[in-house]
Structure 1
Amino acid sequence: MTSRQLCVFYFTDLGKGLFECQSCGRHRKKTPGSGYSKLNSHLNSKHVGFAEEYAELHAAGTPSFTAFGFVDEVTSNIYKWMEWISARNLPITEMENKTTRAVVTMKSTTVQTLKQYMRHMGTSFCIMFDGWTSNALHFLGIYAVYMLEGEGCQRLLALFPMNEGQSAEEGQSAEAHVDHISAVLNVYEKEMDMVKFIVGDNCSTNQSIATGLGIPLIGCACHRFNLAVNRFLQDYQTQIDQIQNLIIQL
């Protein structure tokens, strides 16, 4: 692989010698005819293992960094503006302030555009979520599911760790999930009482969430099937263990 291939893959050319890293969104300048040393320096210092990642994706036939599964530029930009406005308790008109636009990294947008995205969810929608734990961090992915002009829509609202620093029992309780989801909805100026049902797996935590909110839980069909299969195979656990041990020895 060449330096040019890596930089074309990881950076977007914004013109006039300015490049944007597709991984972290930072901007780097490159003087025409100077090569790719500055861009490579950013990758080496901020994204360790980028060369191995590129080689793996290239071998798998992944055509671009965006296709690898990162959030598209429009969605990311709108979310950053919403987070900026809500976290700092600013008026929505702040996004059109010239001084603000000069210091933030998001691309300029308008109040009308931001309100349009907020209105899409309406006042009645579903929340679909699932969690994943890595070491001491519990990540929660939250989607909004709603109808827009007669068509079903799914929008990723958030994907980040919840209740860092707390024990697993405290940070992953039904109450902690509700608080986390409520905080995410506040970013979009929505409230929990707008949620008409939730979609998730059939664990006791999700059942407790649905009971506490007084709304239905639509359990994952695949998860129910997996639970049913495990229950069916309980009487054959000895044989299953013997087969597993045999396979390990082969």
Structure 2
Amino acid sequence: MVCAVRPNTTFTNPQVSGFYFRPCRNEYDEVIPECFRCRCGTVRKQTNRNGYSNLMQDVLRQHPDHESAMLQATAAETGSVLNFVQHLSRNLYGWMHWIIESNLRSLSTRVARQEGTPHLLLR
């Protein structure tokens, strides 16, 4: 009996798939379930039944140097939670952050006007 030894991989299949694939979206910017678009433009379907094998086949065929490309990428691109956060949630958070920051700036300006000039507040 012949025993074949698999080489150790640096990244897991979910990490590789998250690095190369993004969810497909429809005209209303909603995610289409089970449909993913690769960086090279290929559209693949991923179901619960086949796991990451469909996506990994595309990566192995189209991107033979995927491990070196992922090693050169930043940690945020390869293993970050941002790949799994919905686009709508990130967009909503960005707007909320912008509104709060602009309100805080105007509030600090109002307080400075009421209590005096900024150089007097530093004393």
- Give the TM-score normalised by structure 2: 0.44
More strand by share: 1
- Give the TM-score normalised by structure 1: 0.23
Q: Greater relative contact order: 1 or 2 (C-alpha under 8 angstroms, separation 6 or more)?
A: 2
